[in-house]
Amino acid sequence: MIEDAPISLHDAPTRQLNMIEAINEALDVMMARDSNVVIMGEDVGYFGGVFRATAGLQTKFGKNRVFDTPINECGIIGAAVGMAAYGLRPVPEIQFADYIYPGLDQLVSEAARLRYRSAGEFIAPITVRSPFGGGIFGGQTHSQSPEALFTHVAGIKTVIPATPHDAKGLLIAAIEDNDPVVFFEPKRIYNGPFDGYYDKPSRPWKGHPGSQVPEGYYSIPLGKARTVREGSALTVLVYGTMVHVAEAVLAEKGIDAEIIDLRTLVPLDIEAVEKSVEKTGKCLVIHEATRTSGFGAELAALVQERCFYHLEAPVERVTGFDTPYPHSLEWAYFPGPVRIGEAVDRLMKD
Amino acid sequence: MAEGPSGTGTPRGNLPPLELHVPEPRYRPGETVDYAHLVIPPAGQLARPDEACAASETWPLTTQMVRVLGDDHKAIGPWNPGLDPETLRRMLRAMALTRAFDDRMYRGQRQGKTSFYMKSTGEEAISIACAFALARDDMVFPSYRQQGILISRGYPLVEMINQIYSNRADRLKGRQLPIMYSAKDYGFFTISGNLATQFPQAVGWAMASAIKGDTRIATSFVGEGSSAEGDFHAAMTFAAVYNAPVVLNVVNNQWAISSFSGFAGAERTTFAARAAGYGIAGLRVDGNDILAVYAATQWAANRARANLGPTLIEHFTYRAEGHSTSDDPNAYRSAREAEDWPLGDPITRLKQHLLALGEWSEAQHEAMDRELAEEVRAATKEAEKNGILGHGLHHPFHTMFEDVFEELPWHLEEQAAQAIRERETKWPDWKE
């Protein structure tokens, strides 16, 4: 089932937006709808964010609702947890996912467990937005994909959009969700989809169906995958930037692949995964993050456990290498068309 | 090749080799204790600046010590909060009840009714004065040694014991280690095992109150040991930057399990003195003098409520007992330390004050102690009707999977079904 065109999903008229603009709109919509929504983070206020995601919001909603913070991720997330305990709905930004670690204790030990340990007395409905992923010559500390650190934590939802349309709808859903959500934004595709061909000129979102973004309020339920392309030969489980890379490579190779953009990693849309693998009998998992104990391992294990008798080949994983993200050798590291192509060839040979 | 600055490999003449300083407490087990080095100023000496003063004006108050109760048991000086005898008696009662509760729960752990307990012996004045000085709806972000606040605010002892026993009436459904209470209706934030995490959370709560134009303030507690955590710095920075209406407390009880306060930096300066570096008001108080703690908390609360910003209070006290039921302090410190502690015992000091005022008698005190012991005993019996930890299996298995998220995702439903299947094998006779 190919996703309905956005315009028919929602009644509102759509506009052409890039992912930054879509995220900015989601924040704008939620700030206007709910006076408890507050935005905080390094450079998010007056300046509007280093990626412009919060541009204009402080002017519109005031410094009490959108404000700059000290450079202290522990403080940003810790304060957000306290604000949430009060009754606000904070949307803290961590400037790069690579810098989320100082806030990890507050996320893992506190935000994720507040509801459980207090038996629901206190909750942490916070949405931590953070640009993640590589492909931008970001080197070691502007390229990481740490999603597996969060999918391993009971009590946190992990969401990763792959289009402007999804970014807005998923972010609105994340902010409305009463559980803590880590919302990773693939910065490589902020301004346009990326097919993995680093040597070609970059494309803008213009013309991509996923860039048609409805006006106003709409949400996309967390925990629901999106079928990017229907197919019968192979299931590709993918999210973020790699959705577009997978789409391009499989089209080029002429494989009738079913490409599933997971959108939410926890809770995972297991039905979509099972249904597809049972149909195709083959499964390819792709992510930018390093391989060992990456989220791909969880996906491969689930498919093996639940679809074993339908499998016609071992589940393949195409991932980043188990090294820190390099600078000059970025395109040797990035799981691009060649690495995906080899895996597809292995899967498709009789 | 250019000549660089003299560095690696350059001979340094006869300089001595560098030495690492590893702090060592003054007294180890069996050693004689002498507190002559402790500077304990007489009560009533320090000025009480206006609550609207500049943070920098509190500097003398961070390096010395606010004390109200003198050696003659009279309340003296500008920090005397002038409480009426009835309030003093209520505070005395709350302290004595906290101690009676601690004693009973400690015995309960030794009897195997629960796995774990932590007493607050010697530190009761800090919790109780805080609870009395703040408004009932100010939010407390406690560490694990402020049970006196819950008790002062009238939280039912039976509920506390249910939590300690993890029994079927435990509101936290047996999920939490004993004493990690949560009581939102009593302004008592859920306790975490992770130290100091509550400090920036309290600042965030206070910021939220300010964002909403509320009048409530927040307060939080760490021990001096936990003040070494990065969260302490985060909290102080955020509190200062946003002028958050928060009272941040460091309970300096000299010991962090087996590590003396020197490992948190006490050899160099006081904990209250750190406030100055952040531009925050600071106070250092005799933590065993309940009137001093009350006055300091009230000062800080008034300051916060008037949009004048945060205050850091160091409560100078002594952890009179082991860190927890899993700890034997005789293995690392002299037993004489607690006995000879120059600031005395907070309950005894308030009792002596009331006696000096002619508002209390030994007979009343003994009667109160008997009554409180009976109250705790009765609460224990009541809670035991709901089971003790040793009985186990108090909660339906499905509850283990609830509240991880607001709703159970498929993987938790599957795992809940697995747990219930396993139950039928492990405990065939057990019924939910």
Q: What is the mean pLDDT of residues B149-160?
A: 98
- The yes-or-no verdict on residue B355 having pLDDT over 60 is yes
H helix or E strand, kind and range, residue B276: helix B274-278
Q: What is the mean pLDDT of residues B57-61?
A: 98
* pLDDT for the residue A117: 98
Q: What is the mean pLDDT of residues A103-107?
A: 98
CB A250 within 8 A of CB A202: no
Of residues A158, A171, A195, A209, the one with CA closest to residue A7: A209
Q: CB–CB of A81 and B175 under 8 A?
A: no
Q: Is A105 on the interface with B (CB under 8 A)?
A: yes
- The yes-or-no verdict on residue B57 having pLDDT over 80 is yes
Pairing of strands A212-214, A14-16: antiparallel
Handedness of CA A65, A71, A75, A76 (dihedral sign): positive
Tell me how crowded residue B169 is: count the other CB atoms within 10 A of its CB.
Answer: 17
Contacts of B280 in chain A (CB under 8 A): none
* pLDDT for the residue A7: 43
State the ipTM, two decimals.
Answer: 0.96
- For testing the chain A interface, which of B405, B406, B411 should be mutated: the one with the most A CBs within 10 Å? B405
Tell me how crowded residue B172 is: count the other CB atoms within 10 A of its CB.
Answer: 24
- The yes-or-no verdict on residue A6 having pLDDT over 60 is no
Contacts of A105 in chain B (CB under 8 A): 194, 197, 231
Both structure tokens of B361: 């008698």
Distance, CA of B61 to CA of A112 (rounded, Å): 39
For A224, which residue in chain B has the nearest alpha carbon? Answer: B409
Q: CB–CB of B241 and A178 under 8 A?
A: no
Output the CA–CA distances (angstroms, integers) from residue A157 to A24, A149, A152, A182, B221, in the order listed: 21, 12, 10, 6, 30
* pLDDT for the residue B47: 97
- Residue-wise pLDDT for B330-344, tens only, equals 999 999 999 999 999
Which one of A85, A266, A268 has the shortest CB-CB distance to B201?
A85
For chain B, percent of residues with pLDDT exceeding 90: 94
Beta bridge partners of B222: B250
- Residue-wise pLDDT for A264-321, tens only, equals 999 999 999 999 999 999 999 999 999 999 999 999 999 999 999 999 999 999 999 9
Query: Phi first, then psi: what are they for A128, rounded to 5°?
Result: -90, 110
Q: What is the mean pLDDT of residues B109-129?
A: 97
Q: Is A110 on the interface with B (CB under 8 A)?
A: yes
Contacts of B240 in chain A (CB under 8 A): none
B239 contacts: CB under 8 Å, gap ≥ 6: B203, B206, B246, B248, B278, B280, B309, B310
Q: What is the mean pLDDT of residues B26-46?
A: 95
Contacts of A225 in chain B (CB under 8 A): none
Q: CB–CB of B404 and A120 under 8 A?
A: no
pLDDT band at B432 (very low <50, low <70, confident <90, very high): confident
pLDDT band at B6 (very low <50, low <70, confident <90, very high): low
Between residues 247 and 266 of chain A, which touch chain B (CB distance below 8 Å)? 266
C-alpha A199: how far from its chain's center?
Answer: 25
For B403, which residue in chain A has the nearest alpha carbon? Answer: A116
Which one of A78, A119, A270 has the shortest CB-CB distance to B231?
A78
Contacts of A84 in chain B (CB under 8 A): 204
Q: Report the predicted TM-score, pTM, of the whole model to 2 decimal places.
A: 0.96
Between residues 49 and 78 of chain A, which touch chain B (CB distance below 8 Å)? 64-65, 69-70, 72, 74-75, 78
Q: Which amino acid is at B112?
A: G
Contacts of A80 in chain B (CB under 8 A): 204
- Residue-wise pLDDT for B248-291, tens only, equals 999 999 999 999 999 999 999 999 999 999 999 999 999 999 99
Count interface pairs A-B at CB distance under 8 A.
144
More confident residue, A8 or B397: B397
Residue with tokens 């803290």: A92
Both structure tokens of B325: 């039921």
Q: CB–CB of B211 and A117 under 8 A?
A: no
- The yes-or-no verdict on residue B292 having pLDDT over 70 is yes
* pLDDT for the residue A9: 57
Residue with tokens 């293995």: B331
Contacts of A74 in chain B (CB under 8 A): 200, 230-231, 234
- The yes-or-no verdict on residue B393 having pLDDT over 90 is no
Please give, rounded to a whole number of angstroms, the shortest distance from the CA of B256 to a CA of chain A.
20
* pLDDT for the residue A5: 45
Both structure tokens of A111: 């935000």
CB A177 within 8 A of CB B409: no
Both structure tokens of B176: 């939490």
List the catalytic residues of A: 142
- The yes-or-no verdict on residue A34 having pLDDT over 80 is yes
* pLDDT for the residue B391: 74
Give the helix ranges, DSSP H, for B54-211: 59-63, 85-110, 124-133, 147-152, 157-165, 198-211
B366 contacts: CB under 8 Å, gap ≥ 6: none
Distance, CA of B251 to CA of B314 (rounded, Å): 6
Which one of B184, B206, B211 has the shortest CB-CB distance to A122?
B184
Give the 3-state secondary structure percentages of chain A, helix then strand then coil, rounded to 5. Answer: 40, 20, 40
- The yes-or-no verdict on residue B10 having pLDDT over 80 is no
A14 contacts: CB under 8 Å, gap ≥ 6: A6, A7, A212, A213, A214, A215
- The yes-or-no verdict on residue A136 having pLDDT over 50 is yes
- For testing the chain B interface, which of A72, A265, A270 should be mutated: the one with the most B CBs within 10 Å? A72
B188 contacts: CB under 8 Å, gap ≥ 6: B140, B142, B149, B150, B153, B155, B181, B182
Please give, rounded to a whole number of angstroms, the shortest distance from the CA of B253 to a CA of chain A.
25
Which one of B176, B201, B237 has the shortest CB-CB distance to A117?
B176
- For testing the chain B interface, which of A38, A39, A64, A74 should be mutated: the one with the most B CBs within 10 Å? A74
- The yes-or-no verdict on residue A2 having pLDDT over 60 is no
pLDDT band at A4 (very low <50, low <70, confident <90, very high): very low
CB A98 within 8 A of CB A144: yes
Average pLDDT, chain A: 96
Query: Phi first, then psi: what are they for A71, rounded to 5°?
Result: -80, 85
- The yes-or-no verdict on residue B5 having pLDDT over 50 is yes
Q: CB–CB of B410 and A270 under 8 A?
A: yes
Distance, CA of A236 to CA of B303 (rounded, Å): 60
Distance, CA of B307 to CA of B215 (rounded, Å): 10
- The yes-or-no verdict on residue B9 having pLDDT over 90 is no
Both structure tokens of A241: 């930037």
Contacts of B182 in chain A (CB under 8 A): 117-119, 121-122
Please give, rounded to a whole number of angstroms, the shortest distance from the CA of B379 to a CA of chain A.
22
Query: Phi first, then psi: what are they for A108, rounded to 5°?
Result: -80, -50
A33 contacts: CB under 8 Å, gap ≥ 6: A217
Contacts of B212 in chain A (CB under 8 A): 86, 88
Distance, CA of A270 to CA of A237 (rounded, Å): 11
Q: What is the mean pLDDT of residues A323-329?
A: 97
Distance, CA of B69 to CA of B349 (rounded, Å): 8
Which one of B192, B209, B238 has the shortest CB-CB distance to A110?
B192
A329 contacts: CB under 8 Å, gap ≥ 6: none
Residue with tokens 């008790």: B151
Please give, rounded to a whole number of angstroms, the shortest distance from the CA of A160 to a CA of chain B.
18
Q: CB–CB of A82 and B173 under 8 A?
A: no
Both structure tokens of A101: 């670690």
Q: What is the mean pLDDT of residues B163-171?
A: 96
Both structure tokens of B379: 């609460």
Residue with tokens 């002559």: B36
Q: Is A109 on the interface with B (CB under 8 A)?
A: yes
DSSP string for B345-364:
-HHHHHHHHHHHHTS--HHH
* pLDDT for the residue B7: 56
Average pLDDT, chain B: 96
Q: What is the mean pLDDT of residues B48-56?
A: 98
For chain B, percent of residues with pLDDT exceeding 70: 97
Which one of B139, B192, B212 has the shortest CB-CB distance to A109?
B192
Contacts of B235 in chain A (CB under 8 A): 75, 78
A95 contacts: CB under 8 Å, gap ≥ 6: A41, A42, A43, A50, A130, A131
Q: CB–CB of B197 and A117 under 8 A?
A: no
DSSP string for A254-276:
T--EEEEE-SEEETT-HHHHHHH
- The yes-or-no verdict on residue B375 having pLDDT over 90 is yes
- Residue-wise pLDDT for A210-261, tens only, equals 999 999 999 999 999 999 999 999 999 999 999 999 999 999 999 999 999 9
Which one of A64, A106, A119 has the shortest CB-CB distance to B171?
A119
Distance, CA of B153 to CA of B141 (rounded, Å): 14
Query: With b meaning 16 or more CB within 10 Å and e meaning fewer, what string describes A177-209?
Result: bebbbbbbbbbbbbbbbbbbbeeeeebebeebe
